[in-house]
Amino acid sequence: MNENLNQLIGKARPNTEIILPAGEFEGTVVIDKPLKIIGAPTTIWSKKTPALVIKSAGVSIENIRAELTEASPENEVIRAEAPCEVKNVEILGTTTGFGAEDGYFDVPRTIQLGELSADEENTFKITVNVPEKTDIICDMRNVVFEPNTLSRGRNDITIKVSGISAQTCLYAEVLFESKFTRRIYLFGKTSLNAEKADGKTVYTAPERDFSKAVNAGVMPKAVNDTDVVSISDKQDLSAENLELTRGMRVPFEKYLGTKFSAVFSCKDMPDNMDIDPYVFLLDENSKALADSSLVFFGNERSDNGECLYFPKDGHIELDLMKADSRIKKITLAYSIYAGNSSQNFSKVTAPRVSLRTDRERVSFVMNGLSDVTTVVALEFYIYKGEWKLSAVGSGFRDGMARLCESCGIQVEE
């Protein structure tokens, strides 16, 4: 059915609505135009690869369940390469491209309570990690979760079970709802002879450093102006200098024109660390036009000369007037040289990108990077015929390989 659903999407006119029948569709399903997809509800599944990939802005999905059937729940089930609206979407797997939702979500798939006393209230303890505010919903009146609203980070939860007849098997479905819904299953069995459970620990999530989780291995979100951050209350656009913060998306030609340079600096880093720039020249599908569309120390000039690398000091120059008409996005990344495998950006103090003409005009300090070795700093993109700028500041632990693959460039191991 995967082929039929992709064909249905292929035939649909942009900005229309597709009503899916109840049932299952095999993925990967790709949505590459602005559409509203509504399930009945409907399940889209895949064995190991993402079940659903969103490649266009203006996509909305509703009443959908996306799941992986033969992969770990830590594997990616939905990838958004552009902003996407979701409503009543349940997932089994992780997400990419949804901000904090992509972070650590350590919630068990099943919770085994074991034997419970039928005569008394039983209490159990679990500890979970969630990357943003999450509500717990359980419709079984005999089972209570306290608290039932979780805050970002590590949360201790008490589960209270009472009023269930002896020799009864307990089964409850529990929903953890943030932007997406995650379903877990609760099992147990009551007995007249069972001892009362009093604070019994049945699940403990691994320790996480949530001060760094926002950047830890999360794919950078593709940019489109459907979710442009308003900066009218943050930045005076008439000013001569623009200081970016992570997530800001702004028009920039009034500061830089169409020709400018990018310079990396920091307050401190290890003496033996080398950080190099990498520039990806991408089409409307966020794919490189050719291998030569990656400009770095191994390829110092793009085909049209719209991007130049200067090995003497490592700065980049961009001339957007020379850009190939097929180029719709330019990604500026920085990576620690692979030879220093023990190094990462957590050891770099105040990594900073400066965009300059005759002097600095735009700056972006990427605070809070964790143990990543590659970071996407900025993205320049065309929206309605105008070049705009996004401050990304998101990184990868596994170096350049994953970023290159996402842009359609093969990397030799």
Which CATH number does the domain housing residue 181 bear?
A: 2.60.40.10
Encoding tokens for residue 131?
């990357």
- Looking at the domain assignment, is residue 17 inside a domain? yes
Whether 296 and 192 map to the same domain: the answer is: no
User: For tokens 């401050």, what's the residue?
Assistant: 391
Residues 6+ apart with CB under 8 A from 300: 308, 309, 310, 311
The percentage of residues in the chain with a pLDDT greater than 90, rounded to a whole number, is 39
| The domain boundary residue, chosen from 53, 69, 97 | 97
Sign of the CA dihedral running 200, 181, 40, 70: negative
Last residue of a domain, one of 51, 69, 97: 97
Segment 177-195 mean pLDDT: 90
Tokens (6 digits) for 377:
């700093």
**Secondary structure element (H or E) that encloses residue 3, with its range:** helix 2-11
Let me know whether 171 and 262 are in one domain. Answer: no
Tell whether 171 and 308 lie within a shared domain: no
Does 89 share its domain with 127? no
pLDDT in tens, 233-290: 334 434 457 888 887 888 888 888 899 999 999 999 888 888 999 999 999 888 888 8
Is 135 domain-assigned?
yes
Given a cut of 50, whether residue 315 has pLDDT beyond it is: yes
User: Is 41 within a domain?
Assistant: yes
**Using one digit for the tens of pLDDT, what is the confidence trace for 30-52?**
999 999 999 988 999 888 889 99
pLDDT at res. 120: 87
Question: In this structure, are 176 and 131 located in the same domain?
Answer: yes
Q: Terminus-to-terminus CA distance in the chain, angstroms?
A: 36
- Compute the Cα dihedral for 127, 130, 134, 138 and give only its sign: negative
Residues 328 and 392 in one domain: yes
For residues 125-139, give the mean pLDDT: 93
pLDDT of residue 407: 80
Q: Is residue 105 part of a domain?
A: no
Tell me whether residue 411 is in a domain.
no
Q: Is 338 in the same domain as 396? A: yes
Domain end among 150, 174, 204: 204
Band the pLDDT of 229: cuts 50, 70, 90: very low
Compute φ and ψ for 142, nearest 5 degrees.
-80, -5
The answer to whether position 212 is within a domain reads no
d(CA 285, CA 55): 7
Look up the domain containing 14 and give its range. 2-97
**CATH number assigned to the domain comprising residue 260:** 2.60.60.30
**Whether pLDDT at 227 is above 60:** no
User: What is the predicted pLDDT for the residue at 412?
Assistant: 52
Q: What is the pTM of this model?
A: 0.53
The string of pLDDT tens digits covering residues 300-314 is 999 999 999 998 889
If one counts the domains in the chain, the total is: 3
Instruction: Give per-residue pLDDT as tens, 324-340.
Output: 989 999 999 999 875 55
93 and 117 part of one domain: no
Residues 84 and 117 in one domain: no
Q: Is residue 168 part of a domain?
A: yes
Nearest to 393 by CA among 218, 211, 236: 218
Kindly list the distances between the CA atom of residue 21 and the CA atoms of 5, 43, 205, in Å, as whole numbers in the listed order. Answer: 11, 10, 37
Mean pLDDT score of the chain: 84
Whether residue 215 is contained in a domain is answered as: no
